[in-house]
Amino acid sequence: MEEKKKEELEWRRKTWKLVSKVRLESPLIQCITNFVSMDLMANTLLSAGASPAMVHSLEEIHEFTPRVSALCLNVGTLSSSSLPAMIAAAKLCSQLDIPWVLDPVAVSASSFRFDACVQLVQFKPTVIRGNASEIISLSSCSLQSSAASMGVDSTHGSMDAVEAAKLLAQTSGAIVAVSGATDIVTDGNQVVGAHNGVPLMQKITATGCAVTALIAAFVAVDKSHALDAAVSALAVFGVAGELGMKMAKGPSSLRMHLIDSLYGLDEATLQSHVNITSLC
Ligand SMILES: Nc1ncnc2c1ncn2[C@@H]1O[C@H](COP(=O)(O)OP(=O)(O)O)[C@@H](O)[C@H]1O
Ligand SMILES: Cc1ncsc1CCOP(=O)(O)O
Ligand SMILES: [Mg+2]
C-alpha cells in the first residue's frame, strides 16, 4: 500500500480512537474563558462527551483545578480579575502535569492582553491554538508585528503562519495549532494539515474558542500524543461543520447543526470525511 494511503488510514484510526475515548472517559475540562464563547465551548465539550466546568474565580482554583483532566485558558474578555485566576490555574497544571491549552484571542489588541499571553506561555501550555494573525503576533514577541489585526478575526490565512507557528512551538515547547481553511499543527519540526471544515464556520462567533476547548478534551485523554490529539480535534470539529453545512441555512443554523453533528458522529461518517496530511 502506498505511503500516502497508509498515512490517511492511520489518521482515520487515530481520530476515531480519540472520539471514542472522550465519549468513554468524559474528561473534566475546566475553562477560564470569555463571556462570548462560554456557551458554545461548554456545549461543544458536552456534545463530544466531555464534561465542561467554567470555574473562574481565584478563590476556587487551588481546590478545583487539581481535579481536572485538562484546563482551557482563553483571553477573549480578559480582565484584571480573570488573569490572576488563569495564572494560578496554569501554574498548578504545570506543577501537576495536567495538560492545558491556551487560546490567545486578539492577542495584539492591547499590551495588557499581549503581556498576559506572554506571561501565561511561561507556564508551558501543552497546546496553543489561535488564528493566523494571533499566532504570527504571539510568535513575533512584539506587539508591533505586522499581524496586529483589528480584533478577534484573522487578517491572514493559516498558510501565512506556518513559520511563525514553528518558531512559537520551538520557543514555547508547546504544540502550536493555526486554524483556517487548512488547520496547521506543528511541534516546531513536523507540520500536519487538517483540511476539514467550511468557510461559514468563521461567521459563527466562538468557533475558534470552541475548537480550542475540544483540543483540551482530546489532549486530556491522550496527553503523551498532544500533536495527534490537536490535529484530530480540529479535523473532527471541521467534519461536524461539513455535516452541519448540509442542513444549515446560514450561520445560526450551522451553529445548531454543527453541535448536533458532533454529538451524533459515527465511525463510518467520520472516516469518510477526515482529511489529514503531512505538510512538511
Ligand atoms: N476558510 C475556512 N474553511 C474551512 N474551515 C474554516 C475556515 N476558516 C476557519 N475554519 C474553521 O473554523 C473554526 C474557527 O477557525 P478561525 O475562524 O480561524 O478561529 P477564530 O474564531 O479563533 O478566529 C476552525 O475549526 C477552523 O478550522
Ligand atoms: C467577539 C469576541 N470578543 C471577545 S472574545 C470574542 C469571541 C471570539 O471567538 P473566536 O475567537 O472563536 O472567534
Ligand atoms: Mg479566536
Average pLDDT of span 102-111? 95
> Is this prediction's ipTM beyond 0.90?
yes
Q: How far apart are CA 121 and CA 99, in angstroms?
A: 13
Q: What is the mean pLDDT of the chain?
A: 95
pLDDT score, position 119? 97
The protein residue with its alpha carbon nearest to ligand 2, atom 9, reads 206
Q: Is the pLDDT of residue 228 over 80?
A: yes
Q: Is the pLDDT of residue 153 over 90?
A: no
Ligand 2 atom nearest to 105, measured from its CA: 11
Cα pseudo-dihedral 54, 60, 62, 67, rounded to 10: -40
3-state secondary structure of 145: coil
Instruction: Please give the radius of gyration of the chain, using alpha carbons only, rounded to the nearest integer.
Output: 17
236-268 pLDDT, tens digit each: 999 999 999 999 999 999 999 999 999 999 999
Give residue 85 CA to ligand 3 midpoint distance, Å. 20
Q: Is the pLDDT of residue 147 over 60?
A: no
pLDDT category at 151 given cuts 50, 70, 90 is confident
pLDDT score, position 146? 56
All residues at 6 or more sequence positions from 250 whose CB lies less than 8 Å from its CB, including other chains: 200
Query: Do 136 and 228 contact (CB within 8 A), yes or no?
Result: no
Q: Is the pLDDT of residue 280 over 60?
A: yes
Q: Is the pLDDT of residue 172 over 80?
A: yes
Long-range own/partner contacts, residues 48-55 (CB < 8 A, 24 or more apart) = 48/19, 48/22, 48/23, 48/214, 48/217, 48/236, 48/262, 48/263, 49/19, 49/22, 49/23, 49/24, 49/217, 50/22, 50/26, 50/217, 50/220, 51/26, 51/27, 52/213, 53/28, 53/29, 54/30, 55/30
The protein residue with its alpha carbon nearest to ligand 2, atom 10, reads 206
Write down all domains in the chain, each with its CATH number in brackets: 2-278 (3.40.1190.20)
The protein residue with its alpha carbon nearest to ligand 1, atom 14, reads 208
pLDDT score, position 2? 87
Cell triple for 273: 470525511
Q: Which of 34, 110, 215 to mutate to test the pocket of ligand 2 (most atoms within 8 A of CB)?
A: 34
Phi and psi at residue 42, in whole multiples of 5°?
Answer: -65, -45
